[in-house]
């Protein structure tokens, strides 16, 4: 029997059959085959019923007794940071100036061939007692001969040595630029190897395909990197060459004007509107942990009174503009601050937005039973912005393989506010699948689950990855040069 309503004359563009289909739909968890038309699922059920939808032009994929699952969704991915790997020195937000100098000294000594030394990650609040001239002198003490440029973890502040400052002043005079943006400053120094970045993007897309990932929410990257990454992917999307659906977010980890934040969110969203499908920009990702320095008593007031802090104003204005809000915290104390700000937004009538909280200390919905959100609060995994092996964030908190798969499918779709489109194999949803040779549910431990790889991924009814035909070099040859 097929689960779905369709006209008798309707035929499928694609049928996947001869396997086991995990639907993630509580009404019917397992099926034998799926039919797809125009990128949407039109029927799910037994093989015989689904095959009646085949026509001469229908593509039929034999699953060869494999396992078809909803495409995995990475809700705390860092593809942007990974794409720029090797392009800069990563500086810890905890470093004071002496530690920054030591890290720069080692970087310069290890890579003397570089024309510009570019570093990212310093925390403006750690060294806020030094003025710009003192910071310039501190960087000069490490290197005077070549430009040294440091971009903060927030992406809002730049430090540079005398050589870099002189180059920038000269360029700005020639270009008649009075207000220098981060993008302009970076363009002057040409710090980045775009060919290497594009190759990294292809490698990251390939790794996601191997894990069965078909959708990724990017978090934790600075706005300058986001803009470049988004522009490159937009060029790929225009050619129908995206391997995953991307959900972008604006990363904010400092006190910032709600108006300016919303303005930036709208700008990023508008940039994505030129394509029909594949890239969306729909969320604010706030880091209010202690290390972020978001809470500053002297700066964290908009007006006197309860719920008048910057966090509340930021959440309400972001929700009013139609964006989702994801907040990362370290402590339960800060998690409650996040929930109170979200309560204020809900009280103001913003009930359709996604409000998600991640806390390093961990929590359960019961911890917030007395709040307005109660059990409806969305619990999110913590994003990992550390170096290390490629992994899926949902595996950090899941206790069983079944929990992990739900966290990567139906639960992840809820976290993105996309449960009506993706996350399960249900009639009417997008045809977004991952195919595995072995049954992931029968794996005995998480180590085995991490090693498990997909043999095929399908996005919008199109095969975007086939293990047997995977050729990264060919991908790169097809895509490179589109953006440049």
Dihedral Cα 54, 59, 62, 63, nearest 10 deg: -100
Tokens 């290197």, residue located: 143
Are residues 440 and 449 in contact, defined by beta-carbon separation less than 8 angstroms? yes
pLDDT band of residue 334 (cuts 50, 70, 90) is confident
Lowest mean pLDDT among 7-11, 180-184, 193-197, 270-274: 7-11
Residue 122, both tokens: 């310093």
Domain coordinates of the chain in residue numbers? 72-78+195-287+383-474, 88-189
- What does the block give as tokens for 34? 């799926």
Share of the chain above pLDDT 70, in %: 86
Contact by Cβ (8 Å): 328, 289: yes
Radius of gyration of the CA atoms of the chain, in A: 24
More confident residue, 398 or 313: 313
The model's confidence at residue 299, banded by pLDDT at 50, 70 and 90, is very low
Q: Which of 236-240, 395-399, 449-453 has the highest mean pLDDT?
A: 449-453
Residues 415, 353: contact at Cβ < 8 Å? no
What whole-number distance in Å separates Cα of residue 72 and Cα of residue 433? 8
Q: Three-class SS of residue 134?
A: helix
Span 88-189: which CATH code?
3.10.310.70
Could you read off the pLDDT of 397-427 as tens digits, one per residue?
A: 788 999 999 999 999 999 999 999 999 999 9
Can you list the positions of beta strands (E) in 353-476? 355-359, 378-379, 433-436, 454-459, 462-466
Kindly tell me if the per-residue pLDDT of 209 is higher than 70. Answer: yes
Residue 391's pLDDT is 56
Q: What is the mean pLDDT of residues 164-181?
A: 94
Cα–Cα distance, 404 to 394 (Å, whole number): 6
Q: What is the pLDDT of residues 240-293, one digit of tens each?
A: 888 999 999 999 988 888 999 999 999 989 888 767 678 999 899 999 887 776
Closest to 435 (Cα-Cα) out of 478, 471, 399, 468 = 468
Q: Which two tokens stand for residue 20?
A: 């086991």
pLDDT band at residue 385, thresholds of 50, 70 and 90? very low
The predicted pLDDT at position 87 comes to 92
- Separation of first and last alpha carbons in the chain: 51
């Amino acid at each position: 029997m097929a689960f779905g309503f369709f006209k008798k004359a309707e035929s499928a563009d694609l049928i996947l059959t001869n396997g086991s289909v995990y639907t993630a739909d509580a009404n019917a968890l397992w099926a034998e085959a799926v039919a797809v038309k125009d990128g949407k699922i039109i029927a799910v059920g037994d093989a015989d019923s689904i095959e009646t939808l085949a026509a001469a032009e229908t593509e039929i994929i034999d699953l060869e007794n494999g396992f078809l699952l909803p495409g995995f969704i990475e809700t705390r991915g860092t593809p942007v940071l990974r794409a720029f790997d090797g392009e800069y020195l990563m500086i810890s937000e905890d470093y004071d100036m002496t530690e920054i100098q030591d890290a720069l000294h080692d970087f310069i000594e290890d890579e003397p061939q570089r024309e510009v030394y570019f570093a990212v990650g310093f925390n403006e609040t750690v060294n806020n007692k030094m003025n710009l001239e003192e910071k310039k002198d501190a960087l000069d003490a490490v290197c005077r001969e070549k430009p040294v440029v440091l971009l903060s973890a927030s992406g809002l502040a730049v430090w540079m040595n005398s050589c870099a400052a002189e180059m920038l002043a000269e360029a700005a005079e020639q270009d008649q630029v009075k207000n220098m943006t981060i993008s302009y400053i970076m363009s002057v120094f040409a710090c980045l190897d775009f060919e290497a970045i594009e190759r990294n993007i292809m490698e990251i897309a390939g790794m996601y395909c191997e894990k069965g990932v078909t959708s990724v929410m990017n978090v934790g990257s600075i706005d300058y990197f986001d803009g470049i990454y988004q522009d490159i992917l937009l060029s790929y999307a225009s050619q129908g060459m995206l391997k995953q659906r991307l959900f972008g977010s604006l990363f904010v980890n400092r006190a910032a004007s709600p108006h300016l934040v919303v303005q930036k969110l709208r700008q990023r969203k508008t940039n994505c509107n030129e394509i029909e499908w594949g890239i969306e920009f729909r969320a604010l990702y706030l880091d209010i942990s202690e290390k972020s320095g978001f809470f500053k008593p002297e700066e964290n007031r908009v007006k006197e009174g309860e719920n008048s802090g910057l966090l509340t104003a930021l959440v309400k204005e972001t929700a009013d503009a139609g964006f989702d809000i994801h907040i990362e915290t370290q402590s339960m104390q800060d998690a409650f601050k996040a929930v109170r700000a979200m309560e204020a937004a809900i009280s103001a009538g913003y009930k359709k937005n996604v409000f998600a909280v991640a806390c390093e200390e961990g929590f359960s919905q019961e911890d917030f039973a007395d709040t307005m959100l109660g059990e409806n609060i969305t619990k999110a995994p913590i994003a990992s912005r550390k170096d290390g092996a490629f992994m899926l964030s949902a595996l950090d908190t899941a206790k069983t393989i079944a929990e992990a798969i739900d966290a990567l499918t139906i639960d992840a779709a809820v976290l993105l506010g996309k449960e009506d489109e993706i996350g399960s194999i249900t009639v009417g949803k997008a045809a977004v699948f991952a195919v595995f040779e072995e049954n992931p549910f029968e794996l005995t431990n998480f180590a085995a689950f991490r090693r498990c790889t997909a043999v095929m991924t399908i996005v919008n009814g199109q095969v975007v990855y086939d293990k047997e035909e995977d050729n990264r070099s060919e991908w790169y040859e097809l895509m490179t040069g589109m953006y440049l």
